[in-house]
A and B are shown apart, each in its own frame.
Chain A
Amino acid sequence: MYRYTLGDKTFTFKNLAELMARATPARSGDRLAGVIARSAEERVVAQMCLAEVPLKQFLNEVLVPYEKDEVTRLIIDTHDAEAFAPISHLTVGDFRNWLLSDEATTEVLSEVRAGITPEMAAAVSKIMRNQDLILVAKKCRVLTAFRNQIGLPGHMSTRLQPNHPTDDVNGIAASMLDGLLYGNGDAVIGINPATDNVAQAIKLMKLMDDVIQSYQIPTQSCVLTHVTNTIECIEQGAPVDLVFQSIGGTEGTNSSFGFNLNTLAEAQQAAHSLNRGTLGNNVMYFETGQGSSLSANAHHSLDQQTCEARAYAVARHFDPLLVNTVVGFIGPEYLFDGKEIIRAGLEDHFCGKLLGVPMGCDVCYTNHAEADQNDMDNLLTLLGVAGCHFVMGIPGSDDIMLNYQTTSFHDALYARRVLGLKPSPQFAEWLEKMQIMKNAGQAILADSMPDAFRHSLAAPSRKSGGH
């Protein structure tokens, strides 16, 4: 039981999970789950109460029972007491002060990382303002590599997402070419397949591998199919660069997605055996998003942001190249409007980075959410300042397969220009060599069709009727 007295009123919270939920900035998913603070006053009182909780308490009072949940077991069993030592005496409130202080340098933050649990990260984020989330995230450094390096300071990468509603090979290739010629695609070229089976996945893997090999592009490909499908693709000899899976922060969420931690370990091992990375061996690509546990009815009465932070414990265990919070995709019953989406995006990015996860963000919204392009501009800019590893790149912001809006090729160039951010160095070199982009920092594109791609326009078009 947690208690807080304010004047002549005493507020009580029955356990740490309830205290965390009540302290969470308002959002529709927590209202739907019935765990939200019942008044604005109660929310701030919960935050005051949470600020007094010692970080050690999170090791004693687990939010989801150890016996019932393998994610809790992973968090507790892999907790590094030595790394935790320098911050073990802090309360949540002083953890915020410490994170913002000049003591917490990039190096120090890397050293304590393994001592921070997702619940500690979630708790402190609840009492941080947006600028705090940005400032601390910017201090965190997480570097990963496969065929290029991702996460270097001053860089921002993009996932080229050339989805097509019927997986048409030339339709996908057209979006790929558009993206490459706009300097996008250094995080990954990643397709969400319209038809989700092994044969289709292999076809799309070959399509992307052919392009990557032919043009010697220092990037990697991924088909976002179920992890068990990708394992089968590897068995059948398909050219798998990255293994994809959507993950959540409770065992129940993950079993609703049809996998467990062993499945991920098996997949990681299978991908490692192919040895396709040239600069590094980070072979996993995970996607997450607040609300997935509630949607799977596996949230154990936790707030959705705490569940989300727990997913990063799953992610960091498998050394991913990329982790992407698909923040606005789930819809307004979880994140109602631009304000809630922006807050969630910054929280996710902060928690991920603090825990050592290579965070990117699908800055996005659906047409039934109270959000628009201006909200996306705001979040993209804020995340660019915060040092977000990557965002999506899609033609004209319009995903014609998944029916939602995310950042465009143009948007990434905007962010690079106003914030002086560069693509991954190996990719930037390739862009220059291919005459696509001069001076990657200034994002100056070539005016004409680069020579190496000129031949592709000679191909006959197949689909009739035009745009």
Chain B
Amino acid sequence: MKKPAFITENPWQQLRSFTDARIGLGRAGVSLPTEQLLAFQLSHAQARDAVHFPLDLDAFEGVFVDAGFDAPIRLHSQAEDRMTYLQRPDLGRLLNEDSAERLRQCFDSPAPSFDLALVIVDGLSSTAVARNTLPFITALCEQLDSSKYDWTLAPLAVVEQGRVAIGDEVGELLNASIVLVLVGERPGLSSPDSLGLYMTWGPRKGLSDAMRNCISNVRPAGLKPEDAARKAFYLLDESRQRKLSGVKLKDRSQDDVLEHDSTSRSFLIRPLEDKSEKQ
């Protein structure tokens, strides 16, 4: 449809094939056209909803049970509600007393030990958790099944109002050698459903970020759950063999080096000007 004359379209819209950035939006005067304004507002609304909508635990459990998993153990941090959670990151890192007790009561003593605990944490995006945890866990289980090791898995746990570090306490109480936390990441405007993965060897309360390895941006339009599962499996396998995680493990893995051309030359530079390029 032809745009009215008072909207100036940008002739460089084709450059959007290079990037997801919001380029070539056009303008009304110097301002955003209505269509672009509302598209932004919709993205922001979706990101806000991802932060504020609580995870629907019944539906979440149903999906896992339908897929053949046991119902996850339900846990809660010491942050009572979302407003507290947003302002008190310290409380989101600790289990409330009921939850800690529930985990202690889980097993007869002596408690069995597990190779791996998967801990699902709502974090800052319930949307990410609702959409992406099952596809990731399914893909990861396939990897684990084909491993040379036998991997014993602790019961699945899901934590409300939690932050990454709460996984260490859960992993410790579950007597797991490694904990892998699946957490809803801070939603971006164009990525409200991004899941983060954090792995710790020998989880226990009070460990710092330096002990963790992270895989970020797990979502269908980012790092696909199957690819994330391959990366996670690589880290898990290394961690199990070397009995460590965090900075020391990352040093050996070249996984997070982005693939790129060595050239710094962009489409903006005319080929004719090659000879004038300085070194």
Contacts and interface: CB of A to CB of B under 8 A. Distances in A.
A and B associate: yes
B12 A405 contact: no
Given A174-B16, A396-B22, A366 B186 contact: yes
A164 B21 CA distance: 8
B36 A177 contact: no
A448 interface: yes
A29 to B, nearest CB: 9
A175 B266 contact: no
Given A366-B186, A367-B51, A373-B44, A178 B268 contact: no
B18 interface: yes
A162 B257 CA distance: 20
A32 B85 CA distance: 12
Interface in A419-463: 443, 445, 447-449, 453, 455-457, 459, 461-463
Contact of B188 (A166, A194, A214, A400): A400
Given A367-B44, A398-B21, A167 B87 contact: no
Contacts of A232: none
Nearest to B49: A367
B42 to A, nearest CB: 12
Contacts of A176: 266, 268
Interface in A163-182: 163-178, 181
B18 to A, nearest CB: 4
Contact of B19 (A174, A333, A368): A174
A214 B268 contact: yes
A210 interface: yes
Interface string A228-263: 000000000101000000000000000000000000
Contacts of A414: 30-31
Given A237-B279, A333-B89, A372-B44, A173 B8 contact: no
Contact of A367 (B25, B188, B258): B188
A108 interface: no
B109 to A, nearest CB: 37
Contacts of B89: 32, 333
Contacts of A372: 44
A443 B30 contact: yes
A10 interface: no
Contacts of B194: 403
Contacts of B41: 373
Nearest to A465: B17
Interface band, chain A: 35 or more
B40 A333 contact: no
Interface string B226-241: 0000000000000000
B258 A166 contact: yes
Nearest to A208: B264
Nearest to B11: A449
A239 B264 CA distance: 12
A169 B261 contact: yes
Interface stretch (B56-64, B68-76, B244-252, B269-277): B269-277
B185 to A, nearest CB: 8
A466 B17 contact: yes
B270 A455 contact: yes
Contact of B266 (A207, A333, A373, A455): A207
B261 A466 contact: no
B24 interface: yes
A173 B268 contact: yes
A155 B270 CA distance: 32
A181 B26 CA distance: 11
Contacts of A173: 18, 266-268
Contact of B22 (A28, A398, A403, A466): A398
Contacts of B131: none
B278 interface: yes
Nearest to A367: B47
Nearest to A183: B30
B141 interface: no
A204 interface: yes
Contacts of B111: none
B151 to A, nearest CB: 31
Given A178-B24, A410-B25, A449-B11, A459 B17 contact: no
A405 B14 CA distance: 24
B86 interface: yes
A417 interface: yes
Nearest to A448: B11
Kindly name the residue among B15, B47, B263 whose own CB sees the greatest number of chain A CB atoms within 10 A.
B15
Contacts of B188: 367, 398, 400, 403-404
Interface string B32-61: 100010001101100110110000000000
Nearest to B185: A403
B16 A467 contact: yes
A143 interface: no
B152 interface: no
A400 B267 contact: no
A404 to B, nearest CB: 8
Nearest to B256: A195
Interface in A72-87: none
B265 interface: yes
Contacts of B167: none
B18 A461 contact: yes
Contacts of A210: 264-266, 268-269, 277
- What are the 5 closest A-B residue pairs judged by CB atoms, nearest first? A396-B22, A403-B188, A173-B266, A461-B17, A459-B267
Interface of A: 28, 31-32, 162-178, 181, 194-195, 200, 202-207, 209-211, 213-214, 237, 239, 331-333, 336, 366-368, 372-373, 394-398, 400, 403-405, 408, 410, 413-414, 417, 443, 445, 447-449, 453, 455-457, 459, 461-464, 466-467
8 contacts: A31-B87, A173-B268, A174-B23, A400-B19, A403-B187, A408-B32, A410-B32, A464-B17
Given A174-B16, A447-B8, 20 more contacts: A169-B261, A169-B264, A175-B19, A177-B15, A178-B23, A202-B264, A332-B86, A333-B89, A336-B86, A367-B124, A400-B20, A403-B186, A410-B32, A413-B30, A414-B30, A445-B27, A461-B15, A466-B16, A467-B16, A467-B17
Interface of B: 8, 10-12, 14-25, 27, 29-32, 36, 40-41, 43-44, 47-48, 50-51, 86-90, 124, 186-192, 194, 217, 256-258, 260-270, 273, 277-279
